[in-house]
Amino acid sequence: MIAMTSNGGHSAQVKIQLLIDGGAIPVAQMGPDFLLLDAPFDYPPGNARLFLQVDQSERRWEVCLPNGISASSSRVCVVRL
């Protein structure tokens, strides 16, 4: 989990995972159309789910990985379905 502090002093606990084939891949950073993985690996294009937890609030949604994942790049393109 990542701890994020706001100006009010609250330190939010944030957890982001890419859920593929029954596994949970940690996500270092997430943008509107990309993910950054700490440990990229080769994976073909297809669909997956994203999991986001901020403190006790959780969200999951379907995404497409149009270019898959490449072991040579930590950046992964995602399209929300």
- Torsion, Cα of 38, 28, 54, 12 (10° steps): 110
Residue 33: predicted pLDDT:
97
- pLDDT recorded at residue 3: 53
CA 5/CA 3 separation, integer angstroms: 7
How much is the pTM? 0.84
Q: Which domains does the chain have, with CATH numbers?
A: 2-80 (2.40.10)
**Residues in contact with 33: Cβ distance below 8 Å, sequence separation at least 6, in sequence order:** 77, 78, 79
Please list the pLDDT of the chain residue by residue as tens digits (81 residues): 555 555 666 788 999 999 999 999 999 999 999 999 999 999 999 999 999 999 999 999 999 999 999 999 999 999 999
pLDDT of residue 48: 98
> What's the pLDDT score for residue 11?
83
Q: Are 69 and 18 in contact (CB under 8 A)?
A: no
